[in-house]
Structure 1
Amino acid sequence: MTAHVIADDAEALAVAAGLAEAFRTDAPVRDAERRLPYAELEQLSASGLLGVTVPADHGGADVRQETLAEVFRLLASADASLAQIPQNHFVYVNVLRRQGTTEQRKFFFGEVLEGRRFGNAQSEAGTRHVQDIRTRLLPLPDGSHELTGVKHYSTGALFADWIPVLARAEDGNLYVAYVPRDADGLTVVDDWDGMGQRTTASGTVRLDAVTVPADRVVPHHLTFQGPQLHGAVAQLLHAAIDAGIAGGALAEAAEFVRTKSRPWFESGVDTAAEDPLLIQRFGELDLQVRASEALLGVAARAVDTARDELTDASAAEASLAVAAAKAHTTATAVLVADALFEVSGTRAALDSLNLHRYWRDARTHTLHDPARWKIQHLGRHVLNGTRPPRHGLL
């Protein structure tokens, strides 16, 4: 594959806006028929968007996180499933940036600039909690490793060229192994049956004694031994997806009311769009969407500031800003996707229109990690000055 190389932030945003418009057209049908977006992902790869966070000294645009968040918001406003598929791609590009060796960065950043996609094999089911990782990376006599385990919610893996796998070594520390999609012993099972995010193919990855060369393994545990932005970057993109769902649902509702809704007979107006009660409700919803987008921007700029000068204080501020954005966008996405039906009326509930995809996507995606814990960390900080913990979900 030959991918375009995007030059700067402005071009990244223009490309994302163009792709969002293209992806929007068939989004309802893809969701309704669970038509997996292979062609659309090839477009995404060819566009160069997957390489925009590659550092400049490796040939990338190294865009600001504020730009990356807006890219995800734009894509999610059109198709939340398509937007979520590359979320882990950028997370694991970031892992290489932080912990990869010179040779690892040179190789994998080259792959990314050529349009190669990273998936993920991170979460596991049936464990005590999300950080109870039981997949094992064991040493072999020749210096390579053997990888064994089962992963769930593996968004992007089915479409990936490389699958980063989170595993524990004999010493109990966390590592990321970058495994080719076609590696012997690796199987991706398309068994995702969530009510929302239907075309993410977030199924199962099985690893049966997969051999991994030593130069494909990164010491992820070192990420959390000092100030870090791993969790903030990952959560920022999730918040952007939720903000995009909310914005997309609001735009869909407005278009529906303008073109398809009838006014309530008591309103005394000729069109639904002139109904003062509907105007009031749309104003309230727009206020929430604007607030979410504003918090998303504040959070992204906090991450950029921390990247420029990473300290315990700047990392903590970035994590808290992202936590605030994520808590707000979580609520807004569900609120607006639900209100779409309230303002549009009975016809909006027709299954053939598939307007419920916004609610299904919002309700499913916002389950990724609980917003109540974001608020808990905000409260601890404002009351007691307690900095947030260093982990990958904050």
Structure 2
Amino acid sequence: MSAHVIADDAEALAVAASLAAEFRPGASARDAARRLPRAELDRMSASGLLAVTVPAGHGGADVGAWTLAEIFRLLATADASLAQIPQSHFAYVNVIRRQGTSEQREFFFAELLAGRRFGNAQSEAGTRHVQDIRTRLEPRPDGSYVLTGVKHYSTGALFADWIPVLARTGDDRLHVAYVPSGAPGLTVVDDWDGLGQRTTASGTVRLDGVPVPADRVLPHHLTFEGPQLHGALAQLLHAAIDTGIAAGALAEAAEFVRTKSRPWFESGVETAAEDPLLIQRFGELALCTKAAEALLREAARSVDAARADLRDDTAAEASVAVAAAKVQAARAAVEVSSALFEVSGTRSAADSLNLHRHWRDARTHTLYDPARWKIQHIGRFALNGTRPPRHGLL
């Protein structure tokens, strides 16, 4: 596989905008038929977009958090499933940046620049909570490991060249094992049946005695022993996806009203787009979306500032800013995608139009982590100066 190497932030944004325009026309049909976007992901890989956080010293663009968030927002305005698939990819690139040895960085950054994709195998079903990871890395006499467990919601795994697996060793410490697709004992099952994000193939990964060389395992537990941005960056991309869903739904609602809706007979106007009550509602929805976009930009700036001066205080400020952006983005995505029908009228409810995909994507994606706990951390920080906890979900 070969891929273009993106030079800087400006080129990364231009490539993302171009791909979003390319992917948008087919998004509804892909969702309706649940046609998995392999060709589109290959285009994304070939474009170099998946390697934009590779450090400059290894030949990458090393784009900032704002650029990365905007890439995801742009993609999500076109197709929320396509935007979701590489979210974990960048989270696990970040693990290599933070915890990889020089040899691991050299190897994996070269893989990324060649267009290789990371999936994920982190969440588990039936455990006490999301941090209760029971997948195990058992050591072998030669220093390598054997990996055993079952993972769910493994977005991107079906399309990946490498699957990062979250697992614990015998001392209960958290590690990430990078497993190549096709490894013996590895099975990726396309059993995702979510009502939204239908083409992410977020199914099951089974690990039945998968052999893992020692140099493919990274000590992820060290990430959380000091100030860190792992969670903030991962959540920033989730916020960007929700913000993009809101913007995409708003744009499609406006197009529908301008071209297909009839005015209510009491309005006294010739077209639906002149209806003052519809204009009022669109203003409210635009404000909701713009607030999400503004908080996303502010959060990204906080992450970039903390990255340049990483301390407990700057990391906390970044996490709280990202939490605020995620709460508003989730609200905007659900409200705007639902209001699409309110402003568009009865015709918009036709199943054949598939306008409900925006709401289905929003409703599914915003369930990943509860906004109520983010609001708790925002409140504790605002009232008492209590820093949020160090974990990968904030």
Superposition TM-score, scaled by structure 2 size: 1.00
For 1:87, the equivalent position in structure 2 comes to 87
For 1:361, the equivalent position in structure 2 comes to 361
For 2:143, the equivalent position in structure 1 comes to 143
CA distance in 2, matches of 1:260, 1:21: 22
Matches within 5 A, 1:233-244: 233-244=233-244
For 1:269, the equivalent position in structure 2 comes to 269
Secondary structure at 2:211 match in 1: strand
CA distance in 2, matches of 1:207, 1:374: 32
* 1:280 matched to 2:280: yes
Letter of the 1:287 partner, please give it.
L
CA distance in 1, matches of 2:372, 2:327: 7
For 1:370, the equivalent position in structure 2 comes to 370
Letter of the 2:33 partner, please give it.
E
Letter of the 2:58 partner, please give it.
H
Letter of the 1:243 partner, please give it.
T
CA distance in 2, matches of 1:327, 1:291: 11
Letter of the 2:133 partner, please give it.
I
Matches within 5 A, 1:33-182: 33-182=33-182
Secondary structure at 2:291 match in 1: helix
For 1:349, the equivalent position in structure 2 comes to 349
Letter of the 1:118 partner, please give it.
F
For 2:336, the equivalent position in structure 1 comes to 336
Secondary structure at 1:200 match in 2: coil
Per-residue CA shift, 1:273-308, capped at 9, x if unaligned? 000000000000000000000000000000000001
CA distance in 2, matches of 1:332, 1:289: 6
* 1:191 matched to 2:191: yes
Letter of the 1:38 partner, please give it.
R
CA distance in 1, matches of 2:232, 2:297: 13
Per-residue CA shift, 1:45-100, capped at 9, x if unaligned? 00000000000000000001000000000000000000000000000000000000
For 1:291, the equivalent position in structure 2 comes to 291
Per-residue CA shift, 1:304-323, capped at 9, x if unaligned? 00001100000000000000
Letter of the 2:188 partner, please give it.
V
Letter of the 1:154 partner, please give it.
S
CA distance in 1, matches of 2:382, 2:84: 32
The CA deviation at 1:205 is: 0.1
The CA deviation at 1:8 is: 0.3
Letter of the 1:6 partner, please give it.
I
Letter of the 1:204 partner, please give it.
T
Letter of the 1:128 partner, please give it.
R
Letter of the 1:16 partner, please give it.
A
The CA deviation at 1:380 is: 0.6
Letter of the 2:200 partner, please give it.
T
CA distance in 2, matches of 1:182, 1:102: 26
For 2:306, the equivalent position in structure 1 comes to 306
For 2:381, the equivalent position in structure 1 comes to 381
* 1:7 matched to 2:7: yes
CA distance in 1, matches of 2:54, 2:149: 30
Letter of the 2:36 partner, please give it.
L
Secondary structure at 1:387 match in 2: coil
* 1:232 matched to 2:232: yes
Secondary structure at 2:141 match in 1: coil
The CA deviation at 1:215 is: 0.2
Secondary structure at 1:116 match in 2: coil
The CA deviation at 1:141 is: 0.8
Letter of the 1:232 partner, please give it.
A
For 1:215, the equivalent position in structure 2 comes to 215
Letter of the 2:221 partner, please give it.
H
Per-residue CA shift, 1:189-230, capped at 9, x if unaligned? 000000000000000000000000000000000000000000
Letter of the 1:123 partner, please give it.
S
For 1:325, the equivalent position in structure 2 comes to 325
Moved over 3 A (4+): none
Superposition TM-score, scaled by structure 1 size: 1.00
The CA deviation at 1:383 is: 1.0
Letter of the 2:315 partner, please give it.
A
Secondary structure at 2:199 match in 1: helix
CA distance in 2, matches of 1:320, 1:259: 41
CA distance in 2, matches of 1:143, 1:59: 31
Letter of the 2:306 partner, please give it.
A
CA distance in 1, matches of 2:27, 2:332: 21
CA distance in 1, matches of 2:372, 2:46: 39
Secondary structure at 1:317 match in 2: helix
Secondary structure at 1:382 match in 2: helix
CA distance in 2, matches of 1:123, 1:109: 25
Secondary structure at 1:148 match in 2: strand
CA root-mean-square deviation: 0.3
Letter of the 1:109 partner, please give it.
F
CA distance in 2, matches of 1:32, 1:347: 18
The CA deviation at 1:241 is: 0.1
Secondary structure at 1:199 match in 2: coil
CA distance in 2, matches of 1:191, 1:31: 16
Letter of the 2:329 partner, please give it.
T
Secondary structure at 1:25 match in 2: helix
The CA deviation at 1:182 is: 0.7
